[in-house]
Amino acid sequence: MPRCRLGPPTMVLLVILQGAAVVLLFGWYVQLSPCGPTPSQGKVHVLLLSSWRSGSSFLGQVFSQHPSVFYLMEPAWHVWTKLKMPGARALRMAVRDLIRSVFQCDLSVMEAYMPEHHNVSSLFMWSHSRALCSPPACSLTPRNQFSNQTECSQRCDATGLQGVEEACHSYSHVVLKEVRFFELESLYPLLQDPSLDLRVIHLVRDPRAVVRSREQSAKAFIRDNAIVLDQGDTPVADTQYRVMQEICRSHVRIHERATLKPPGFLKGRYKMVRYEDMVRDPLIEINAMYEFVGLEMTAPLQEWIYKVTHGKGKGSKKEAFQITSRNAADVSQAWRTTLAHDKVKRIQEVCKGAMSLLGYRTVDSEKEQKRLELDLLVPRERYQFSWLPAKTAS
């Protein structure tokens, strides 16, 4: 019987192909095996997804001050201010890739958006992160105490980002706050990434209150407005309404995608919160968010939350991101007495669909607008804002 002899080159090729097949099959086994190690190693990743002037800075502090949380405020700001690309859509993949790396505590991704010789202070609003004011990043504030942004900025700046990465790795939860995502689909690769355990908290606010707050800090949003609208020829008088229209549309897209036939990997990963519900009953709402992401409420946090939401202040007009002690429930209704009714009517027109979907009642007259006893918030019991993990049968 004739025999087929294989030359050395053919043998080498067969060995290479066999090795590649083994590697491929092993990779499939690791992905499919229910007994494999948890890639995220128990670390939980939380994205606070919102829009400008929706109370997201306050919500960020609710997480930042928790002793188990490493928090950064709007790292995507660096992408929007550095890359010369028009429109939010063109920037969304760069934003998503940056978010993924930061969640994994890899801050080298920030190098492309910072000066050659950079400090921790090169990070946007870095002193708003209690973790960067605490060990191992800085010895100023013990982990179980609340940080002071002014003291932190003066004493905790350091060269490079190595200390930031070290701090990030030492916490059980990494929380990022972002206002630069306009659709949920951009986050699908992160939700499907086996190295991440991602939860999304979607914060919304009455668009009439948002406009009132934006007007107080209008100069801070000029660059962002241009990117949101993706054009420079919008009349100044119409800019805020066009931007609000895009923001309202994004809330509708995100909420509907998460609740109307959502993909299976989103189950247990999405929760919507209305700012007005949060300030009316802060301890209950914030505790529910903590439970959603696997954090425990502490007595010091309860006291801090109560004080910061039941103060006498009315909010700062000068600092767009300053968190001060104030009566948050009163502030949430301030638009009703300070915003001209013709503006309110215009906002209701451009955000009609979002207001209906999210549970905000419209007003038909200035008199109705100023009747503060008239509740404009539809009871949340009529809405199913979150997908909670299914209970397993015992």
pLDDT over 70 (residue 390) = no
pLDDT in tens, 196-210: 999 999 999 999 999
* 84-94 burial code (b ≥16 CB/10 A, e <16): eeeebeebbeb
Mean pLDDT of 81-110: 89
pLDDT at residue 293 is higher than 80: yes
Is the pLDDT confidence value at 38 over 50? no
Q: Is the pLDDT of residue 127 over 50?
A: yes
What pLDDT is stored for residue 232 in this prediction?
A: 57
Amino acid at 54: S
Query: 364-375, pLDDT tens digit by residue?
Result: 999 999 999 999
pLDDT at 48 over 50: yes
Structural domains in the chain plus CATH codes: 44-381 (3.40.50.300)
Instruction: Report pLDDT digits (tens) over 216-244.
Output: 888 888 888 888 887 655 566 688 899 99
Q: Could you write out the three-class secondary structure of the chain?
A: CCCCCCCHHHHHHHHHHHHHHHHHHHHHHHHHCCCCCCCCCCCEEEEEECCCCCCHHHHHHHHHCCCCEEEEECCCHHHHHHCCCCCHHHHHHHHHHHHHHHHCCCHHHHHHHCCCCCEHHHCCCHHHCHHHHCCCCCCCCCCCCCCCHHHHHHHCCCECCHHHHHHHHCCCEEEEEECCCCCHHHHHHHHCCCCCCEEEEEEECCHHHHHHHHHHCHHHHHHHHHHHHCCCCCCHHHHHHHHHHHHHHHHHHHHHHHHCCCCHHHCCCEEEEEHHHHHHCHHHHHHHHHHHHCCCCCHHHHHHHHHHHECCECCCCCCCCCCCCEEHHHHHCCHHHHCCHHHHHHHHHHCHHHHHHHCECCCCCHHHHCCCCCCCECCHHHCCCECCCCCCCC
Query: pLDDT tier at 182 (50, 70, 90 boundaries)?
Result: very high
Grade residue 83 by pLDDT with cuts at 50, 70 and 90: confident
